[in-house]
Structure 1
Amino acid sequence: MSKRGWLLFLGMGVIWGVPYAMIRVAVREFDPVFVAFGRTFLGALVLLPVALYLKVLAPALRQWRWLLVYTLAEITGPWLLIGHAETKLTSSTVGLLIAAVPLIAIVITTRMGHEGLDMRRILGLVIGFAGVAALVGLDVDVSNLGAMAAIGVSVIGYALGPIIVVRKLTDLPPIGVVTGSLIFAAALYLPFAVWRMPSHFSAAPTWSVIGLGLVCTALAFVVFFALIGEVGPSRATVITYINPAVALLIGVSLLDEPLTAGMAIGFPLVIVGSIIGTARAKAEAKEPAPV
């Protein structure tokens, strides 16, 4: 990998590792639906001129039905539910649980008949879900089952999003898809965000929402597409295994969240299970992965 590739790779690992801490700070004072709206609105506001200049928004909007389905699965549902969950759970716990997305993706793709469930994938699922069980069993109080359910739905949505893109939106320009989906999400959030508008804007939560929109959404997608262009889609997805570590480090060091036994046991199991379960067989190694 080139020096530029490494810089993009490390940048993405940080950019998509910090949202959980920012969400945690924001939802301490703001309603989760307002936080989600602010993030999508600011992201759309920044990316819209780029999409219009490149003339990639109109083609995406022509497929508005599947774009809306993708938006609900990848953005509208998860970003709102994760915000609600972080009113009860630490950002570190949420970030580590979201790392189970590749495991759920394996289950979905095998059930749809896209991939076979061989012994390697079964081993990865067993190890990964053992890590999730350790996180939940050792760290999550029974009174927070609603938050756990919110994360569970979010994980399913994140796993479905790329499948929808590959099956229905793969021929569309990525910037157009992202911009269109952010516009849809902001429009869906808007009436609820107005209803839950804060009466006071403290500095920390306000800057957290701004950071979520400008850095973790608009800049993140631009950098991610640059990373794909530099190293290819298959190697770019390895950031999935770095983001939780960044979320854990930030939560523990900056937000004074505890480093628990569940994290120490569950985190490596989830990551190892995801790596084993999603690793491509040698016979498949020469086939390019879908974007």
Structure 2
Amino acid sequence: MSTANLFRLVLLAAIWGASYLFMRIAAPVLGPAVLIEYRVVFAALFLAVIALLTKKPLHWKRHWKHYVILGFFNSALPFLLFAWSARTLSASVLAVLNATAPMWGALIGAVWQRQMVSPRVLVGIALGTAGVALLVGFDHVSSRDGAGLAIAAALFASFNYGIASTYAKAAPAVEPFANAHGSMWTAALMVLPSLLFFPAPGEPTTGIMAAAIALGVLCSGVAYLLYYGLIRDVGATSALTVTFISPLFGILWGALFLHEVVGWYTVAGAAIVIAGTVLVTGYRPGFGGKANLA
């Protein structure tokens, strides 16, 4: 991998890691529904501009069902769940919980294909479970009111990413940019009804709105462009190493900007979860291993 592509990979991990920071900042004020509606609308508008400039059609009539499924399982529902959890959990904990998505994907894929899970994958899942247990067991946020439900919601969000990745493997072949663009519009429509049940609990400041815009344009729109560009230039296997790096940035940004405590359990839990993810995905640098991106 060239220096330029390595820089793009690290930049992408830093951007996706920042999504937990922005949710932690904005969710307590805007609420999960308003924040995520902002996120998917801003992302859809940004990607629409790119689509117009690059003349990339969506072919709505042919692929609308596909966009609906992706929009629900890969965006609308998990985004809402993570934003709901962000009112209680730290950015560090959210980042590590999100890293369990490939493990859910491996389990769902095995059930879907009616195949036995390999011993390597079982060890990876066991490690991931142990890492999450270590993190939430020692982190002080687990003692907050509602932390248990927030942790369950974040894990269920990752579970939905696993459903989306399993579906995508058997879905009709659609250009990757169109997947991102089309699913953002369908997600925007699906999140709309939730605004009736989760209105914004506070008045947004300029900083809160900046976080919401960054979450949509930067963490969804720009990140998708970087990700698919890396797939084109270095291949899917190398591009998906971002799965192992982004949780580290989630922890870093939380510590730097929100003054979150990074204890030994944070580092150890994240390392164990990442090790489990590597085993589950079967990633081996330079050997064409497969990985799933949350």
Deviation (angstroms), 1:186: 1.0
Aligned runs of 1:133-152 on 2, under 5 Å?
A: 133-139=133-139, 140-141=142-143, 143-152=146-155
Against the structure 1 CA distance between its residues 156 and 289, is the aligned structure 2 distance closer, same or farther, given a 3 Å change threshold?
Answer: closer
Identity, % of aligned positions: 25
Against the structure 1 CA distance between its residues 290 and 246, is the aligned structure 2 distance closer, same or farther, given a 3 Å change threshold?
Answer: closer
Q: Which residue of 1 aligns with 2:43?
A: 43
Deviation (angstroms), 1:198: 6.9
2:232 to 217, 229, 232: 229
CA distance in 1, matches of 2:290, 2:64: 27
Q: Which moved more, 1:39-48 or 1:260-269?
A: 260-269
Query: Retained in 1: the 8 A contact 2:66–2:171?
Result: yes
- Secondary structure at the aligned position of 1:87 is classed as coil
CA distance in 2, matches of 1:114, 1:231: 32
Tell me the amino acid that sits aligned with residue 174 of structure 2: L
Against the structure 1 CA distance between its residues 106 and 289, is the aligned structure 2 distance closer, same or farther, given a 3 Å change threshold?
Answer: closer
- Secondary structure at the aligned position of 2:117 is classed as coil
Q: Which residue of 2 aligns with 1:15?
A: 15
CA distance in 2, matches of 1:61, 1:147: 38
Q: Which residue of 2 aligns with 1:213?
A: 216
TM-score normalized with structure 2 length: 0.90
- Secondary structure at the aligned position of 2:274 is classed as helix
Deviation (angstroms), 1:226: 0.5
Q: Which residue of 2 aligns with 1:85?
A: 85
CA offsets 1:46-99 (integer angstroms, 9 cap, x no match): 111333454544335522223211211110001111111011111111111111
Tell me the amino acid that sits aligned with residue 176 of structure 1: A
Q: Which residue of 2 aligns with 1:244?
A: 247
Tell me the amino acid that sits aligned with residue 32 of structure 1: P
CA distance in 2, matches of 1:2, 1:114: 40
- RMSD (Å) for aligned C-alpha atoms: 2.5
Deviation (angstroms), 1:259: 1.4
Query: Retained in 1: the 8 A contact 2:48–2:181?
Result: yes
Against the structure 1 CA distance between its residues 114 and 46, is the aligned structure 2 distance closer, same or farther, given a 3 Å change threshold?
Answer: farther
Deviation (angstroms), 1:178: 1.1
Tell me the amino acid that sits aligned with residue 266 of structure 1: G
Deviation (angstroms), 1:289: 7.9
Query: Retained in 1: the 8 A contact 2:108–2:166?
Result: no
Q: Which residue of 2 aligns with 1:200?
A: 203
CA distance in 1, matches of 2:58, 2:35: 28
Aligned runs of 1:117-132 on 2, under 5 Å?
A: 117-132=117-132
Against the structure 1 CA distance between its residues 207 and 192, is the aligned structure 2 distance closer, same or farther, given a 3 Å change threshold?
Answer: same
Question: Are 1:188 and 2:197 counterparts?
Answer: no
Against the structure 1 CA distance between its residues 100 and 61, is the aligned structure 2 distance closer, same or farther, given a 3 Å change threshold?
Answer: farther
Deviation (angstroms), 1:277: 2.1
Question: Are 1:273 and 2:273 counterparts?
Answer: no
Tell me the amino acid that sits aligned with residue 132 of structure 1: V
CA distance in 1, matches of 2:21, 2:6: 24
CA offsets 1:171-220 (integer angstroms, 9 cap, x no match): 11111111111111112223444772577330221100011111111111
CA offsets 1:91-121 (integer angstroms, 9 cap, x no match): 1111111111111112112222376522222
Deviation (angstroms), 1:12: 0.7
CA distance in 2, matches of 1:12, 1:254: 19
CA distance in 2, matches of 1:258, 1:277: 29
CA distance in 1, matches of 2:292, 2:102: 15
- Secondary structure at the aligned position of 1:31 is classed as helix
Query: Retained in 1: the 8 A contact 2:29–2:200?
Result: no
**How many residues matched?**
289
Q: Which moved more, 1:176-185 or 1:58-67?
A: 58-67
Query: Retained in 1: the 8 A contact 2:281–2:289?
Result: no
Q: Which residue of 1 aligns with 2:161?
A: 158
CA distance in 2, matches of 1:76, 1:62: 21
Tell me the amino acid that sits aligned with residue 275 of structure 2: V
- Secondary structure at the aligned position of 1:28 is classed as helix
Against the structure 1 CA distance between its residues 290 and 16, is the aligned structure 2 distance closer, same or farther, given a 3 Å change threshold?
Answer: closer
Deviation (angstroms), 1:35: 0.6
Structure 1 spans left out of the alignment, 5+ residues = none
Query: Retained in 1: the 8 A contact 2:237–2:283?
Result: no
Q: Which residue of 1 aligns with 2:94?
A: 94
Deviation (angstroms), 1:31: 1.3
TM-score normalized with structure 1 length: 0.90
Displacement over 6 Å in runs of 4+: 287-291
